[in-house]
Amino acid sequence: MSAPGNGPGNGEAWLEERLRPSLAQKLRIDKQLYRDKTEHQDLIVFEHQLYGRVMALDGIVQTTEADEFVYHEMMTHVPILAHGAATRVLIVGGGDGGMAEEALKHPLERLVQVEIDRTVVDIARAHLPSISGGAYDDPRMELLIADGARYVQETDERFDVVIVDSTDPVGPGEILFSREFYAGCKRCLTPGGIIVTQNGIPFFERYAVENTYRRLGTLFSDVSFFLAPVPAYIGGFMAFGWGTDNVALRSQPVELIAERFKVLGTKLRYYNPAIHQAAFAHPQFLVDILEALDRDAG
């Protein structure tokens, strides 16, 4: 990432994100728009030559104007169109508003978003308005500032789809990868409902896939992952966790998905029915990981 002649001493500022002790990416901060500690996290928003405006929490890139569409389109349209009759959706996390913006493209009756950090929402609305669009002003949406892990244990509401748009399993986001939290999400799902999760980069974060597969596997009849490359999340494609008791939903004919997609009446930038189906195809190393876990589980 580093172009020659930069770094300390030439006045340039860089965000250095450490993915692993021996692996990092650096993004030049071309113009810092906001930087402060919130009640929960260290938040920065800055302009970057290639990614446009970028938001990072605790030094980890969360979203960029240039590639957010990949992540947000896949985590919303795959579960909602696979379900086929979703009217109530829950988003846990998602402070930048990009997930809500995509979800509200569907004829939903109700969207609830439970985000722990008010400042993330306010700063994202102020400095990254293109990502949330008008989502936060949509009358179908209710934003709750609360810990998602507690909400799913206590709410009386039920949802057809739960989307876990969390930070990585560190800090306030750590509990959002626990079995206890997934069990709470299952409690909130209507029969045959679907949970999808932000699940890291399998090539470098194998443990994240293994943990989620085991934990969701004790709760749902059908557990798997769908994949998409998000350039700002280095290390190859990102994995999205999938859990449901309706085992037919993951392998529906592409023609049926295409019929449902037509209802949106809009063309998207990453998602289409063919990529929906293809995203559930796994490279051999991931097939091997999941088969080994199935064998261990006996």
Residues with catalytic function:
165
CB of 232 to ligand SAM, least distance (A): 9
Contacts to ligand SAM by CB under 6 A:
62-63, 71, 92-96, 114-117, 120, 147-149, 165-168, 172-173, 175-176, 198
Tell me the C-alpha distance between 289 and 240, whole Å.
15
Distances (CA, A) of 76 to 267, 269, 289: 14, 13, 26
The answer to whether 148 and 180 are in contact (CB under 8 A) is: no
3-state secondary structure of 13: strand
CB of 136 to ligand SAM, least distance (A): 13
CB of 186 to ligand SAM, least distance (A): 17
* φ, ψ dihedrals at 168, nearest 5°: -70, 170
Work out whether the CA dihedral 287, 289, 290, 293 comes out positive or negative: positive
Beta bridge partners of 196: 163, 242
Specify the residue, 147 or 210, whose C-beta has the smaller distance to ligand SAM. Answer: 147
Specify the residue, 82 or 124, whose C-beta has the smaller distance to ligand SAM. Answer: 124
Tell me the C-alpha distance between 115 and 50, whole Å.
28
| Residue with the shortest CB distance to ligand SAM | 95
Specify the residue, 125 or 222, whose C-beta has the smaller distance to ligand SAM. Answer: 125
Report the first-to-last Cα separation within the chain, whole angstroms. 44
Specify the residue, 79 or 93, whose C-beta has the smaller distance to ligand SAM. Answer: 93
> Residue 16 has which token pair?
């250095």
The answer to whether 73 and 81 are in contact (CB under 8 A) is: no
CB of 37 to ligand SAM, least distance (A): 13
Work out whether the CA dihedral 132, 137, 138, 144 comes out positive or negative: positive
Specify the residue, 117 or 160, whose C-beta has the smaller distance to ligand SAM. Answer: 117
Amino acid letter, residue 108 = L
